[in-house]
Structure 1
Amino acid sequence: MKATAPPAKRRRGPRLAVLALVFCSLLVPIAFLFNRFPAVYVTDERPQQEINLPSFDPIESGGSVNEDVSKKSSGSSSVLHRGIDSDLSIVSPKPKAIVFPPKIQQEVPPPKVEPKPEVKPVPVPVQVPVPVHHNKNINLDNKRPPRVQSADEVEKAKACQLEFGSYCLWSIEHKEVMIDAIVKRLKDQLFVARSYYPSIAKLKGKETLTRELKQNIQEHERVLSESIVDADLPSFIKTKIERMDQSIARAKSCIVDCNNVDRKLRQILHMTEDEAHFHMKQSAYLYNLGVHTMPKSHHCLNMRLTVEYFKSMPLDPNDSSAHKFNIPDNRHYVILSKNVLAASVVINSTVSSSEDTENVVFHVLTDAQNFYAMKHWFARNSYRESAVNVINYEQIIFENFPEFGTQQLYLPEEFRVFISSLEQPTEKSRMEYLSVFSHSHFFLAEIFKDLKKVIVLDDDVVVQRDISFLWNLDMGDKVNGAVRFCGLKLGQLRNLLGRTMYDQQSCAWMSGVNVIDLDKWRDHNVTENYLQLLRKFGNNDDEASLRASALPVSLLSFQHLLYPLDERLTLSGLGYDYGIKEEVVQSSASLHYNGNMKPWLELGIPDYRKYWKRFLTRDERFMDECNVSP
């Protein structure tokens, strides 16, 4: 008889290779999850950082014309509770607010605040009542009634939002209810059979039952691997269900140790929860990948426009309207964007909503990569009598202000904020997105030296009413006209702000629609103050830290120079909040899609995307060729 090598030794190499492949296949998705976002086509990469905050008492609006509207400025519940002042850790960004006034009256200065020790008194201007184009029959409460949740659901929602952010809101809204009763029954049978099988296998004289249970378990697993809905199940499934029921009944009639069955049930439950959490991580990664990367069709559009710019004869309308760019008396709007369609919608919506556009000029600041695509797009498309000036931000900073260091174009930074009540821990926490100026905004006064006033619009804003009244706004000695976000006060950020002097009761503010007085900016040396704060809070060697510093730097740079705009000007939260009433969206002066679910993405909230799409340019050849259909 010939001796043969043991089979195990022959298969040892392939087995090790298979085990290594399985192990690597498990590590790769986990590595992606912890690596945030891979290097892909990024359009407006905005850092995700979280701030856990206690909530506040009802906020006094300081003479706001409508308390009901001012309560919704934070995009949260109308009643805020004061919690114990606690330390805060910052990890993410961006939120919302509301403003609107067509007749501007002279602002009445309030009485000066008595100075407190170590805190500089801050005079807060009183907002003047302004007529608003709202339907009188519309309830100004912009929130749909929330669904009543149990304490367990609230805790799960908090934990989910802390770990996965806005993905939790999206997953809840798109959760599929399981209606396949037969598939559910198969899974329940499989769960019970697996829990009894180890105990039955140890009993003597139960070999036949053990084989039946094992066979039924394998058949159920095979069926469920091929069918996920009742319609896909084989015709003989009822026979398998009856056979499994009989085996389970026989297993339950046997005398077994209940502790063993209980232990096995708990083990299977924990394994199922771990598997569900792992799949949730994968889904959250794919969601974040989808909301932070440029769609393939948009990338195609940018490339086609860039190639066409160099292939065709220059179509530069700036030659005929360049004289408008530096006239201080014109109405100048500034947009920072890397997205052609987003910038186009902002301009088109603003022009379509304006009565007079003859002296309107839009300055689009973009990066070097998208400069030629932007230039060719706005050369091909006109927007009534307005002029569009496309500027390569990175080139102008590099050539004229090399000492500034931060030459890269940064879009408005978004910070995700969690606000919860420490007095009522079971109360549902609120997730808001706070948007503030990026580092690139602080060089506007240097770039536009000939201009006196500009209105800065984020590229995720849609204008639905004429906002030209903002040019007649008398802000006194203030620099930045913005909507306040009193859901966050500077006192809550003491760990972030350090020992810098600030008013602890001062509210945060929102970007989106901002009126900037460049003359007052230069008088108050805002750019120089910003550079000093940046050296204190920023880390130029680490881009994540540099971008995270935008929050304290922006808040401190304007804390005494902020003019509070009426909160009905902008309706925010359309990029993450599913609960805003449609009639409120229709009646708002401007819409701010702050949050992850931008309207140009497939993951955008469908109920709100239509208000963005109606200002999208139609009949554009390159959009059809690249299959761009937001």
Structure 2
Amino acid sequence: MKATAPPAKRRRGPRLAVLALVFCSLLVPIAFLFNRFPAVYVTDERPQQEIDLPSFDHRTEFESGGSVNEVSSNSAGVIEVNAEAHNASNKISGSSKDSQNAIDDDPSSISTKPKVLPPPKIEQPVLPPPKVEQPKPEVKPVRLPVQQAEGDRVNIRPRRVQNADEVEKAKSCQLEFGSYCLWSIEHKEVMRDAVVKRLKDQLFVARSYYPSVAKLKGKEALTRELKQNIQEHERVLSESIVDADLPSFIKKKIERMDQSIARAKSCTVDCNNVDRKLRQILHMTEDEAHFHMKQSAYLYNLGVHTMPKSHHCLNMRLTVEYFKSTPLDPDDSPAHKFNIPEHRHYVILSKNVLAASVVINSTVSSCEDTENVVFHILTDAQNFYAMKHWFARNSYRESAVDVINYEQIIFENFPEFGTQLLYLPEEFRVFISNLERPTEKSRMEYLSVFSHSHFFIPEIFKDLRKVIILDNDVVVQRDLSFLWNLDMGDKVNGAVRFCGLKLGQLRNLLGRTIYDPQSCAWMSGVNVIDLDKWREHNVTENYLQLLRKFGNNDDEASLRAAALPISLLSFQHLLYPLDERLTLSGLGYDYGIKEEVAQSSASLHYNGNMKPWLELGIPDYKKYWKRFLTRDERFMDECNVSP
């Protein structure tokens, strides 16, 4: 008898390869959705950093420079900084230990620390009255919400959260999605499609009863009826999302489903199974809602951090036209005004042509005498020629506009500095919570400070003695000439203070450097800079020393996150407090600012994600920015620029 050979084993390798390929193809769309890759057209706005600051009511002790200090309240705990647009988290609470060890190990850290001077008593300047020919409402002090009494805060920024559950929900939402939560609350639509909602509710109840009914004997007909109704509801909801799309016979389907559900409820079933199924459906619905919220937040961040196509078109057209056009006659050039110290010099860091134009136009429109006014625009190499051609085509009364390629100057004069890129003012989302009374003290604030590029302004303008730095998201509504007459004494930076955040709350971030825990933070936007005092106090040298301790030039997110401690420490005891009515901040995220408050402010600062030139900008505040746009510009019409 001939023995038969055993059957050959089937090869499983190709099957596994095909299954792996199918699985990977399913993951690609999901990875594409959640990967926050850089946009093609990047705006000049820096994504906000995030800081979570839990505060306490009781007195605590902490170490600062080897000495023990006491803080009455709001002392900080763990600090967390996240780069929002790049989806990269940077745990400062952990990295601060590394920087702290680096400072301890550095023997030169004692000699290179900033000077510590006792804070003198300073009289705040008083804003001049408005022009007589254009009467305006009486100017009232505009203070930041954390510096106001509880009753005053309601008039400017009314509370939207009342109970503890809503506070916790708002906190978790803003910590995860940032300013998208503020935007989504304002644009939340009430569901008007009641029939669709009823269909979904019926579907959930039917699904919860179906498994229990299917196990009962003698209920085969009811089981088939429930299954058929569930399938019909699913088919209808897959084709219709609003009541207008529903078929005409939907009422009959609703009645049949009601009857089936009533019969199912009359059956003797295990309530635990129904409860378990309902909870399962609830969790699935919550996961689906969270998934859609992630999608919306991603699209929101993409919208606020991406340059509109029309703006990109404008920059390209201006750049091409610059090389096609004939250069200006040197006799007509106002370059002779650029280095005269006696003139009034304004410095603007911007990559946005329209934003820089609005800042200049609003400033000269509010100024009585513009003959000796000079604007210096620091921009990057990509937008340099577009800026040059725009300001060569447009004039702003008697003022002069100087466009400077910042990246080229840094590359030529500071080759040792690792980062030659132009950084705009950095913005941080600061969440300050109170662990004992979260419903009263928890708040989210937006803080803007100088970027790394600001610290080279004294080296770029070596012939100047005093400048005013304006952010490119600022609109000036009153004459700022009085700022040139300020006597800041030994101070370097004239800024509006932000005492809702003090250095003592950042002790884990600041490490063992010497600082005053009661020193307030400050806001960029409108800043008066005494360049002579800057050079005398070696602010730039101190900045470079701090950058070696806090910054990481290889990681852009860490480098930008270091702007907050570096800016606060560099100007510690060198800050001259300006009148709080000088600048009203928050127009890029706060929907609660009243119109009369905005109209009476000397300047408006659109700090936040919702810039006025974006479609996602807050509509009520756009009008203050739009009225200073250049009109009848050919390239704007050709590129369909309509902010």
TM-score by length of 2: 0.82
Cα–Cα, structure 1 residues 500 and 82, in superposed 2: closer, same or farther, change >3 Å? closer
Q: Name the CA shift for 1:629/1:475 in 2 (closer, same or farther; >3 Å).
A: same
Instruction: Check the 8 A contact 1:479/1:521 in 2, yes or no.
Output: yes
Contact 2:494-2:578 at 8 Å conserved across structures = yes
CA deviations over 1:346-400 (Å, ceiling 9, x no partner): 0111011111111100000000000001111111111111110000000011112
Confirm or deny: 8 A CA contact 2:56 2:436 kept in the other structure: no
Residues of 1 paired with 2:146 and 2:199: CA distance? 66
Deviation of the 1:54 alpha carbon: 4.0
Q: Which residue of 2 aligns with 1:65?
A: 68
CA distance in 2, matches of 1:146, 1:265: 35
> Aligned partners of 1:236 and 1:589: how far apart in 2?
62
Distance in 1, matches of 2:562 and 2:132, equals 29
- Per mean C-alpha deviation after superposition, the further-off stretch among 394-403 and 65-74 is 65-74
Deviation of residue 337 (structure 1)? 0.4
Pick one of 76, 81, 85 that aligns with 2:100: 81
Summarize deviations over 1:68-124 as a string: whole Å, max 9, x none. 99999999999999999999999999999x999999989899999999999999999
**Following TM superposition, by how much is the alpha carbon of 1:53 offset from its aligned partner in structure 2, in angstroms?**
2.1
Residue 311 (structure 1) shift: 1.6
Aligned equivalent of 1:110: 129
Query: For residues 38 and 331 of structure 1, do their structure 2 counterparts lie closer, same or farther at Cα, with a shift above 3 Å needed?
Result: same
Greater Cα shift, 531-540 or 205-214: 205-214
Taking the aligned partners of 2:196 and 2:34, their CA distance within structure 1 comes to: 34
Three-state SS of the structure 2 residue aligned to 1:8 is coil
Instruction: Map Cα deviations across residues 319-358 of structure 1 (whole Å, 9 max, x no partner).
Output: 5200000000000000000111110110111011111111
Task: Give the Cα separation in 1 of the matches to 2:227 and 2:107.
Answer: 54
1:122 is matched with which residue? 142
Q: 1:620: Cα distance to partner?
A: 1.1
In the alignment, the residues of structure 2 paired with residue 239 and residue 104 of structure 1 have an alpha-carbon distance, to the nearest angstrom, of 78
Q: Give, in whole Å, the separation in 2 of the partners of 1:401 and 1:189.
A: 69
Cα 1:606–1:388 shift into 2, 3 Å: same
Structure 1: unaligned runs, 5 residues or longer: 128-141
Measured after TM superposition, the shift of residue 236 of structure 1 is 0.7
Counterpart residue number, 1:35: 35
C-alpha contact 1:478 1:561 (8 A) present in aligned 2: yes
1:187 equivalenced with 2:200 (yes/no): yes
Listed one character per residue, the Cα deviations across residues 45-69 of structure 1 (whole Å, up to 9, x for unaligned) are 4243222224588x99999999999
- What CA distance in whole angstroms lies between the structure 1 residues aligned with 2:555 and 2:371? 44
Q: CA deviation at 1:221?
A: 1.3
Question: Cα distance, 1:181 vs. partner?
Answer: 1.4
CA gap of 1:607–1:360, structure 2 versus 1, over 3 A, is: same
Q: Distance in 2 between matches of 1:506 and 1:540?
A: 28
Which stretch shifts more, 177-186 or 500-509? 177-186
Aligned residues of 2:467 and 2:529 also touching (Cα < 8 A): yes
Asked if structure 2 preserves the Cα contact closer than 8 Å seen for 1:478 and 1:562, the reply is yes
2-structure distance, mates of 1:623, 1:473 = 39
User: For residues 351 and 82 of structure 1, do their structure 2 counterparts lie closer, same or farther at Cα, with a shift above 3 Å needed?
Assistant: farther
CA distance in 1, matches of 2:325, 2:7: 70
The question of whether the paired residues in 2 share the 8 Å contact of 1:93 and 1:434 is answered with no
Gaps of 5+ in 2: 70-85, 148-154
* TM-superposed deviation, 1:458: 0.3
Greater mean deviation of Cα atoms: 28-37 or 548-557: 28-37
Work out whether residues 589 and 608 of structure 2, in 8 Å CA contact, stay in contact via their aligned partners in 1.
Answer: yes
Quote the offset at 1:126 in angstroms.
20
What SS does the corresponding residue of 2:97 show, helix, strand or coil?
coil
User: Contact 1:62–1:126 at 8 Å: present in 2 too?
Assistant: no
The separation in 1 between residues aligned to 2:138 and 2:549, in whole angstroms, is 20
- Tell me if the contact between 1:95 and 1:573 (Cα under 8 Å) persists in the aligned partners: no
Assess, with a 3 A threshold, how the Cα gap between structure 1 residues 251 and 241 changes in structure 2: closer, same or farther: same
Question: Whole-Å Cα distance in 1 between the matches of residues 3 and 311 of structure 2?
Answer: 67
Deviations 1:203-260 (A, max 9, x none): 2222221221111111111211222221221111101100111111111111111111
User: In 2, Cα distance between the equivalents of 1:579 and 1:292?
Assistant: 23
Deviates more, 1:223-232 or 1:497-506: 223-232
Q: Is the 8 A contact 1:75 1:432 kept in 2?
A: no
Q: Secondary structure at the match of 1:434?
A: strand
2:238 aligned with 1:225, yes or no? Answer: yes
How far is 1:37 from its partner?
4.1
Asked whether the 8 Å contact 1:50–1:91 carries over to 2, the reply is no
1:70-219 pair list within 5 angstroms: 143-147=156-160, 149-219=162-232
Conserved? CA contact 1:331–1:471, under 8 Å? yes
Offset, 1:274: 0.5
Question: Measured at CA, do residues 158 and 15 of structure 1 come closer, stay the same or move farther in structure 2, by a change above 3 Å?
Answer: farther
Q: Contact 1:104–1:469 at 8 Å: present in 2 too?
A: no
- Return 393-402 or 465-474, whichever deviates more: 393-402
Residues 467 and 531 in structure 2, CA contact (< 8 A), matched pair in contact too:
yes
C-alpha separation in 2, matches of 1:566 and 1:63: 35
In the alignment, what sits opposite 1:533?
A: 546
Which secondary structure does the structure 1 equivalent of 2:95 belong to? coil
Residues 142, 584 of structure 2: 8 Å contact kept: no
Structure-2 change in CA distance of 1:45 and 1:29 (3 Å): farther
3-state SS, counterpart of residue 529 of structure 2: strand
Change (3 A) 1:9 1:161: farther
Kept in 2, the 8 Å contact 1:104–1:472? The answer is no
C-alpha spacing 1:537/1:505, structure 2 compared with 1 (3 Å): same
| 3-state SS of 1:77 partner | helix
Change (3 A) 1:197 1:430: same
SS in 2 for 1:390: strand
How many positions carry a matched residue from both structures? 614
CA change 1:547–1:78 in 2 (3 A) is closer
Q: What does residue 271 of structure 2 align with?
A: 258
Q: CA deviation at 1:438?
A: 0.5
CA contact (8 A) 1:367 1:408 kept: yes
The answer to whether the 8 Å contact 2:341/2:465 transfers is yes
Answer yes or no: is the 8 Å Cα contact 1:93–1:416 preserved in 2. Answer: no
Describe the shift of the 1:616–1:266 C-alpha distance in structure 2 as closer, same or farther (beyond 3 A).
same
SS in 2 for 1:411: coil
Query: Does the 8 A contact of 1:331 with 1:361 survive in 2?
Result: yes
User: For residues 510-529 of structure 1, what are the alpha-carbon distances to aligned partners after superposition, in whole Å with 9 as ceiling and x for unaligned?
Assistant: 10000000011111111111
Q: Conserved in 2, the CA contact under 8 Å of 1:195 and 1:264?
A: yes
What TM-score, normalized by structure 1, do the two folds share? 0.83
Q: Deviations over 1:493-534 (max 9, x none)?
A: 111100000000000111000000001111111111111111
Whole-angstrom distance in 1 between the partners of 2:247 and 2:7: 38
| Displacement after TM superposition at 1:404 (Å) | 2.6
